[in-house]
Amino acid sequence: MSTTRYIISDASKKVDVEPHVLRYWEEELEIEIPRNEMGHRYYKQEHIDTFKTVKALKDQGFQLKAIKMLISDLHNIEGLDTQTILRLREELNEKAMELESKEIIETTNGTSVSECNTMEDKMGQFKVIMHNLIVNALQENNSTLTESLSTDITEGVIKEMDYLLRLKEEREEERYKKFDETIRGYQKSRLEIAAGKENKNRKKGILFRKNR
């Protein structure tokens, strides 16, 4: 019995996202999608089920990097209760933000403030500034006040980081959308050029026969 294969446009409709979103998730989550003899992606039902779960987790507030940590156990997620899902979301989103911040700080190490213009750089700066505020508070205030201040600032950092990561993911998805549109436009123009050449050759052939 042959397995049904879906092209990306059909798969995206089943998942209820745009094709460029599937491509973006495929790359970010390192999901291996097979290709046919022409080099085009094709999706089996197992891939569609995976992307449906990814979408469901995204809708529940999971960051893509957090979902990546669960990618090998996605089939077990549906059996979890709501409280466990919420707790898992908070824990993994926080870890994802920590990893993101670490990567940003490592890549921007030694860069001056005036040079940090991207969102990733600003996110790294923000966390460093918040860390310094907490350290200063610990040095200058009593333990009760600093504990309260540290908690408030930490929660603020997590919320701000979560917001910035969401903006980054939306920006990346938009970039993939534009890239996808560019490829489609290029393919369309090539088809139009090829059709024009074919019509031109056809007209030459007719004219040649008439002259004869």
Residue 3 domain-assigned (yes or no): no
Residue range(s) defining the domain that contains residue 29: 8-211
Residue 41: beta bridge partners? 35
- What is residue 118's DSSP assignment? S
In degrees, rounded to 5, the angle at the alpha carbon of residue 141 between the alpha carbons of residues 139 and 142 is 110
Residue 91 domain-assigned (yes or no): yes
Task: Give the pLDDT of residue 43.
Answer: 96
Which spans in the chain are helix H?
8-15, 19-28, 45-59, 64-70, 74-77, 82-107, 119-140, 143-211
Q: Who wins on pLDDT, 31 or 150?
A: 31
Residue 204 domain-assigned (yes or no): yes
**Tens-digit pLDDT profile for residues 114-135:** 444 555 555 555 555 555 555 5
Residue 115 domain-assigned (yes or no): yes
Q: What is the count of structural domains for the chain? A: 1
Averaged pLDDT of the chain: 74
Residue 2 domain-assigned (yes or no): no
> Is the separation of the CB atoms in 58 and 64 below 8 Å?
yes
> Is the separation of the CB atoms in 10 and 16 below 8 Å?
no
> Is the separation of the CB atoms in 161 and 12 below 8 Å?
no
Residue 1 domain-assigned (yes or no): no
**Tens-digit pLDDT profile for residues 177-212:** 776 677 667 667 777 777 777 776 666 666 555 555
Based on its alpha-carbon atoms, the radius of gyration of the chain, rounded to whole angstroms, reads 25
* CA-wise closest residue to 169 among 65, 89, 85, 22: 65
CA dihedral 127, 131, 133, 135 (to 10 degrees): 180
Task: Give the pLDDT of residue 144.
Answer: 47
pTM (two decimals): 0.56
Residue 48 has a CB neighbour count (10 Å cut-off) of 19
| Weakest mean pLDDT among 95-99, 174-178, 190-194 | 174-178
Residue 69 domain-assigned (yes or no): yes
Give the CA distances from residue 192 to residues 48, 178, 197, in Å, rounded to whole numbers and listed in that order: 33, 21, 9
